[in-house]
Amino acid sequence: MKKTMTVNISGIVFHIDEDAYDKLSAYLEKIRRHFANDQGCEEIISGIESRISEVFQEKTQNQRQVVTIEDVEEAIAQLGEPSQISGEDDAAQDSGSTQRPEPEYAPKRLFRDPDNKYIGGVCGGLGAYFQIDATLIRIIFLLTLFLGGGGLILYLVLWIVVPKARTMSDRLSMRGEKINLSNIEKSIKEDLNDIKQNLENLSKKKA
């Protein structure tokens, strides 16, 4: 026995198993994120949804009424994962080999992190540099206050000496990520998604 839900895909109603629904919405979300920067993002999604709707209709024509997780998996295989859709690397997918190049890391630089700060962003920047939680560094700095205050001076010096990460490429080299188009794109997408999420949360709160 399985719990089912009712969904509307491109104006057609389907009964769908709960696990199948989760899989499908994760897939659509993945596509949405992949094409987030595209002008026609919504159009691409609606086209894909309408195709999924057709595929499900073929599958539920006979006795069977419910869309199962196998149906969803087949539909996804038919339509393709986002990377296959963009045709970036059907290569690695087709041959099953791992030709994907290792991510290259650029030399890291110490910056003050304006997105992760309480005072000057020094701890946030140190955290990014050493890849540890900035909160931990903050606690250490606070502790030194009770042990003579050396940390305070160090903090002030760092605040003066270390530049603030102003540009996108500053932020990428702060995290040791290579400054290339795809990383910049990733970073923008992350920002946009954050903004979107915040807006959605806001409108939910209002409603």
Residues that bind other proteins (CB under 8 A): 9-12, 31, 35, 38-40, 43-44, 47-48, 50-51, 53-54, 57, 78-82, 84-92, 94-95, 99
Q: Give me the least distance between CB of 74 and other proteins, in Å please.
A: 12
Q: Give me the least distance between CB of 197 and other proteins, in Å please.
A: 24
Q: Which is nearer to other proteins, 18 or 38 (CB)?
A: 38
User: Tokens for 106?
Assistant: 């650029």
Helix, strand and coil in the chain, % to nearest 5: 60, 10, 30
C-beta separation of 47 from 38 below 8 A:
no
Q: Which is nearer to other proteins, 49 or 170 (CB)?
A: 49
Q: Which of 115, 144, 142 is nearest to 128 (CA)?
A: 115
Q: In the sheet where 12-17 sits, what is the strand order?
A: 4-9, 12-17, 66-67
Q: Which is nearer to other proteins, 96 or 107 (CB)?
A: 96
Q: Give me the least distance between CB of 149 and other proteins, in Å please.
A: 58
Q: Which is nearer to other proteins, 99 or 167 (CB)?
A: 99
CA atoms lying within 13 Å on the CB side of residue 55 = 19
User: Tokens for 176?
Assistant: 């040791």
Question: Which amino acid belongs to residue 150?
Answer: G
Q: Give me the least distance between CB of 90 and other proteins, in Å please.
A: 5
Residue with tokens 């389907």: 14
Q: Which is nearer to other proteins, 83 or 116 (CB)?
A: 83
Q: Give me the least distance between CB of 71 and other proteins, in Å please.
A: 15
